Amino acid sequence: CMAELTGYPCCSNSNTTVYHQDEYGDWGFDFDQQVWCGLTPYTENNTNDECWSEFLGYPCCKGCGVYEVDEDGSWGFEFNHWCGIPSYCQ
């Protein structure tokens, strides 16, 4: 699910109540574990023909959360690595 891109777990199939929404989709809360969890499944977006950050040695992000902007573009941080924000996020 999309929450895994930010280090959070996916919600169980029985946990379907939406408490929050952001660029990573819908979020639930696991009251047993006392942690936020993701409800939105991850789907590969193929609208980006070329990833601008690959030229610089970094993959494109799967999500659209921007952590930093520089002269090259917008950057995210997923799976403990920097990545370029894809053009379809803008």
The answer on pLDDT for 85 being more than 80 is: yes
Give strand ranges (E) for the chain: 20-22, 25-30, 35-38, 68-69, 74-78, 81-84
| Structural domains of the chain, count | 2
Q: CA separation (Å) from 40 to 5, 34, 55?
A: 11, 19, 30
pLDDT in tens, 32-71: 999 999 998 766 555 545 789 999 999 999 888 899 999 9
For Cα atoms 19, 21, 23, give the angle at the middle one, nearest 5 degrees: 155
How many angstroms separate the first and last alpha carbons of the chain? Answer: 21
Containing structural domain, residue 16? 2-38
Cα dihedral across residues 70, 71, 76, 79: positive or negative = negative
Q: Which residue is listed with tokens 């006392």?
A: 34
Is the pTM above the cut of 0.75?
no
In a domain, 12, yes or no: yes
Domain assignment present for residue 45? The answer is no
In a domain, 78, yes or no: yes
How does pLDDT run across 14-39, given as a tens digit for each residue? Answer: 999 999 988 778 999 999 999 999 99
